Amino acid sequence: MQLITATASPFARKVRVLLKETGQEGDVEEVMAATLPTAPDPTVTAANPLSKIPALIRPDGPALYDSRVITRFLDARCGGKLYPENQIWDVLTLEATADAMMDAAVLMTYELRLRPEGMRFEDWIEGQWGKIEGALDALNTRWMSHLSGPLDMGQIAVGCALGYLDFRHDARGWRKGRDALDDWFAVFCERESMKATKPA
């Protein structure tokens, strides 16, 4: 199998972390691609008609895309440990929260990096950050017991979302007033899978 990926993508990082945590990295070749909304990469478009990363090319079926589809597939392939049935709704909700944070943060990045300075919509940027702050507050107040439990895909997604905030929006200071989440992330980001996939 081939994973169409990019080191900066938090969505692709979720998949890469899962591969390492489940010992499947030897089964999947990583194919690096650079794609932008204004300049789609043909390699990405061939695997995903939406021209988004990640995409998983399988030898026995059509390519899979959307990180949550890919992670469910790869987790099922190795026994379903990261989506435990007894906590499935919590795991999926936590993963969806993290994915929404990533989506808002990536949209902010595009607005700041791709749109000419005089055309940037500052209120829209702040609106995206407001979504992220709401999610951060929820994680810090409602989800710490789950985050501190056995490893699952919700935790991996949150770790990748926070890592992306550090990578692209560090000046926003997401840690302020969120000590519990900050402490959790300080430990989580020391996992070998997180260190090996850290964007640079």
Residue by residue, pLDDT tens for the chain (200 residues) are 999 999 999 999 999 999 999 999 999 999 999 887 878 889 999 899 999 999 999 999 999 999 999 999 999 999 989 999 999 999 999 999 999 999 999 999 998 887 888 888 999 999 999 999 999 999 999 999 999 999 999 999 999 999 999 999 999 999 999 999 999 999 999 999 999 999 98
- The C-alpha atoms of residue 68 and residue 73 are separated, in whole angstroms, by 9
CB within 8 Å of 137: residues ≥ 6 apart = 178
Per-residue buried b or exposed e for 150-186, using 16+ beta carbons within 10 Å of the residue's own CB:
eebbbbbbbbbbbbbbebbbeeeebbeebeebeebbe
Position 53, amino acid? I
* Domains in the chain with CATH codes: 2-77 (3.40.30.10), 85-196 (1.20.1050.10)
Helix residue ranges per DSSP H, 32-87:
42-47, 67-77
- The C-alpha atoms of residue 102 and residue 10 are separated, in whole angstroms, by 7
